[in-house]
Amino acid sequence: MDAEDHNDRGDRVKVAHPAGLAVEKHCLDARPGSLYDYQEGWDHQRELLERVSHHEICNQLLLVQHESVYTAGRETTPEERPFDGRPVIDVDRGGKITWHGPGQLVGYPIVFLQRGIGPVDYVRRAEEAVIRLLDGYGIRSGRVPGRTGVWIASDGVGPERKICAIGVRCRHQTTMHGFALNVDPAFDSFNNIVPCGIQDADVTSIRRELGHAPSLDQVADAMYPLLAELLEFKPYEMSPDIPRRAHRAFHHPTAEILAPVATPRVVRL
């Protein structure tokens, strides 16, 4: 049965797809110099996508820790690329530029989307898994209308902070690419770009929010059952958006690229 099968009345019917979500983990307990190569991971995603999209295997999940790398989605503009000219891998996902590297849990769900399930619903469920994971660590997070990913609300002084980026591509009704959750990364690499093309918000991590962080293995183990549940595409209750608050203007840390304003102003959301 293929993705275009219909019943006797001509109605689209659900494709017979293997149940479950298989998981692979790569380099979660490794150190820089022995982490997962981005190109190798991208090639592996495409191999899995072909098998998942043809219903040969069940949905797959890769949970990895990459060597330091910048990747640029299709919407990235020249001024958002690394200020120091560092190389970038241009990829076929949506969104803009981001960084992957040590201390970040990157997840690649390779998931077949049955008819009637769109990429937006998939993204919202991936976000929901991260929101529920962070809630388990005592971090209140949510969505920002009009922006993808998972966010921490402004405290009225500092800006909103992105803790998890999401960028996906859908091919043959099957997803690839995925999410990048900041567990305990260094932030120098984020300061060399405009992350996700957003200049009025900051980035954060579990360690920044809590003062400590679990291991990537522990986070991966906690993440898997949440994704497995939500990617069954059964009804669920979506977490609320974060509250929007006025805060002092935020400027990218690279002051020589984005000049600061002499007198702080208030941004009202």
Q: Which residues are catalytic?
A: 196
Question: For tokens 């330091």, what's the residue?
Answer: 68
Distance CA 177, CA 227 (A): 15
DSSP annotation of 232 reads T
- The helix, strand and coil proportions of the chain, stated in percent and rounded to the nearest 5, come to 25, 25, 50
Give me 142's structure tokens: 């949510």
Distance CA 208, CA 28 (A): 20
Cβ burial of 55 (10 Å; 0-12, 13-18, 19+) is middle
Q: For residue 196, which of 90, 85, 81, 106 has the smallest C-alpha distance?
A: 81
Give me 183's structure tokens: 């567990």
